[in-house]
């Protein structure tokens, strides 16, 4: 599991000090939006003024279903030890040094990715060793829905396309102005982006005689969140079909 732990435990030889030294986490679970910053906190006892040279802080991350953990940030005897930092975290993970004297080991990760989700271990050695786990969950709303009107060459049919990226995987529903469920005539597919997001594309095929307003609804089941975009066939007599993205909203379904 953890390579550094047995070594540190040996170092302190399970002394009385070790038994008294405890690391605490004020917040066990962090849920953050993809692309945002997160600061996770572990607390440790500091008696009086901090002796930085005696302090070692290790932050490691483990994704669900993976056996090997990644080194996120290491401070060894008061100095940043970046040689073994996992490349996923280079330039994105820092320990807020100014807070250490208050007994706060704050790990800041910027521009959070889907792959940052998982279990974080914070291990602190300060004349005693202890560690705790923190869980990080990352979500991505299907915020921006791109819409497009397509015409099938040589066919008497049109297609409305809605495409968006998010996490976890969303279901896509189509409705007309009367809230009639049209999902049966839609084809929804997805790919995975290099950032681990789902790139969901849904195409509704219909006959051009049907002049109506349509909306596609991205339902992020796990987040209980719906986003939608509207497309209308206004002006279809003239230019074929006009695309009119009227509005976009996000709301939570109770
Ligand atoms: C995230 O942190 C970086 C570096 O501190 C900062 O430049 C950026 O504005 C922050 N982003 C957000 C969304 O707070
Ligand atoms: C902190 O200081 C108090 C009093 O000086 C002492 O009794 C205690 O053992 C110290 N705790 C640690 C963790 O060093
Ligand atoms: C719409 O219809 C599809 C199948 O045609 C179904 O899977 C889906 O659950 C329906 N959605 C709603 C909101 O009723
Ligand atoms: C849905 O779209 C995919 C990708 O464009 C295509 O391979 C598949 O045949 C389509 N399915 C249906 C039922 O039209
Ligand atoms: C998502 O898929 C669409 C096609 O379905 C493609 O045009 C677009 O570039 C993809 N976006 C990303 C970020 O992969
Ligand atoms: C579509 O929406 C527009 C703008 O809200 C409205 O003017 C138009 O009457 C609607 N068309 C239909 C067929 O409902």
| Tens-digit pLDDT profile for residues 146-190 | 998 887 667 777 788 999 999 999 999 998 877 777 877 899 999
Kindly state the average pLDDT of the residues 188-199: 94
**Token couple for 136:** 């990080």
**Token couple for 33:** 């939006």
Q: What is the percent of the chain where pLDDT is above 70?
A: 81
Pocket of ligand 2 (CB under 6 A): 20-21, 45, 47
Query: 199 CB less than 6 Å from ligand 5?
Result: yes
User: What is the CA(112)–ligand 1 centre distance, in A?
Assistant: 11
Work out the pLDDT band at 207, boundaries 50, 70, 90. confident
Query: What is the pLDDT, as a whole number, of residue 233?
Result: 65
Query: What is the pLDDT, as a whole number, of residue 237?
Result: 31
C-alpha–C-alpha distance, residues 30 and 35, integer Å: 14
List of residues 6+ apart from 72 with CB closer than 8 A: 59, 60, 61, 85, 86, 89, 93, 107, 109, 120
User: What is the CA(21)–ligand 4 centre distance, in A?
Assistant: 60
C-alpha–C-alpha distance, residues 9 and 217, integer Å: 54
Query: 187 CB less than 6 Å from ligand 4?
Result: yes
Ligand nearest to the CA of 196: 5
Query: What is the pLDDT, as a whole number, of residue 253?
Result: 34
C-alpha–C-alpha distance, residues 94 and 6, integer Å: 25
List of residues 6+ apart from 30 with CB closer than 8 A: 38, 40, 134, 135, 136, 137
User: What is the CA(246)–ligand 3 centre distance, in A?
Assistant: 23
Pick from 49-53, 62-66, 99-103, 117-121: least confident: 62-66
Pocket probe mutation, ligand 1, options 35, 37, 95, 98, max atoms within 8 Å of Cβ: 37
Query: What is the pLDDT, as a whole number, of residue 222?
Result: 82
Query: Under a CB-based contact definition with an 8 Å cutoff, are residues 60 and 70 in contact?
Result: yes
User: What is the CA(163)–ligand 4 centre distance, in A?
Assistant: 15
Q: What atom in ligand 3 is closest to the CA of residue 217?
A: 13
Give the C-alpha distances (Å, rounded to integers) separating 126 from 21, 55, 73, 80, 189: 8, 5, 17, 15, 52
Residues in the chain: 254
pTM for the model stands at 0.73
C-alpha–C-alpha distance, residues 188 and 170, integer Å: 10
| Averaged confidence pLDDT in the chain | 83
Q: Which residue is closest in CA terms to ligand 5's atom 9?
A: 199
């Amino acid at each position: 599991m953890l390579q550094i732990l047995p070594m540190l435990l040996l170092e302190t030889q399970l002394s009385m000090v070790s038994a008294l030294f405890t690391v605490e986490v004020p917040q066990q679970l962090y849920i953050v939006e993809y692309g945002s910053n997160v600061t996770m906190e572990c607390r440790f006892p500091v008696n009086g003024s901090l002796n930085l040279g005696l302090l070692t802080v290790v932050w490691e991350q483990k994704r669900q279903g993976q056996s090997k953990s990644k080194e996120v940030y290491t401070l060894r005897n008061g100095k940043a030890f970046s040689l073994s930092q996992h490349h996923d975290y280079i330039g994105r993970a820092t320990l807020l040094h100014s807070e250490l004297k208050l007994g706060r080991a704050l790990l800041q990760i910027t521009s959070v990715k889907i792959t940052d989700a998982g279990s974080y271990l914070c291990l602190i050695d300060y004349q005693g060793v202890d560690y705790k786990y923190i869980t990080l969950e990352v979500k991505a709303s299907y915020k921006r829905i791109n819409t497009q009107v397509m015409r099938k060459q040589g066919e008497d049919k049109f297609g409305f396309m809605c495409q968006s990226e998010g996490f976890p995987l969303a279901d896509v529903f189509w409705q007309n102005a009367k809230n009639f469920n049209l999902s049966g005539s839609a084809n929804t597919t997805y790919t995975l982006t290099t950032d681990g997001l789902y790139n969901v594309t849904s195409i509704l095929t219909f006959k051009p005689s049907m002049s109506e307003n349509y909306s596609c609804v991205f339902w992020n089941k796990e987040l209980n969140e719906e986003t939608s975009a509207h497309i209308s066939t206004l002006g279809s007599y003239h230019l074929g079909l006009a695309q009119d993205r009227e509005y976009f909203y996000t709301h939570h379904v109770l």
